[in-house]
Structure 1
Amino acid sequence: MQPLIVIGVIGALILLVLIVGTPLKPLRFVGQTAIKIMIGALFLFFLNAFGNSMGIHVPINFATSAISGVLGIPGVAALVIIQMYIIQ
């Protein structure tokens, strides 16, 4: 695709959103979910950084980040238990 066409389409979409407006509730839900997934990835990063000396390693991907982000510390503990006892 030509760069001019892509820029034109993006500009038209931005103009459409500015004119029509966006529904705030779905965007807020998507934003909060994305933030929770990022926090879950951060939980797993620290778990892998500090748990490396004890042989604990949980891969960081979308599924594990979503589980640890939505469930919090109990979700991280569940992932560690699954990794240690079920997978290995």
Structure 2
Amino acid sequence: MHQLSLTDISRALAAKEFSASELSSHLLARIKALDPQLNSFISVTEELALSQAKAADARRANGETGALLGAPIAHKDLF
């Protein structure tokens, strides 16, 4: 999943190939595995990310659509 483009993620979420929760869990696990060597994140808000992914899944289940609904995002610390 981590090699998908944003367009591919959007399509896969819409097609229910995976959920926002599954995607977020995958990416968070990758951060945990690689960030000790890369030191690319100052802070990771895992609980918030998972709760927002769960909310996005619920919104999709209720028929809401949106190109970015459920797509995770990471912000550079200078923003």
TM-score (norm 2): 0.38
Instruction: Say which one has the larger Rg.
Output: 1
Larger helix share, 1 or 2: 1
TM-score, normalised with respect to structure 1: 0.35
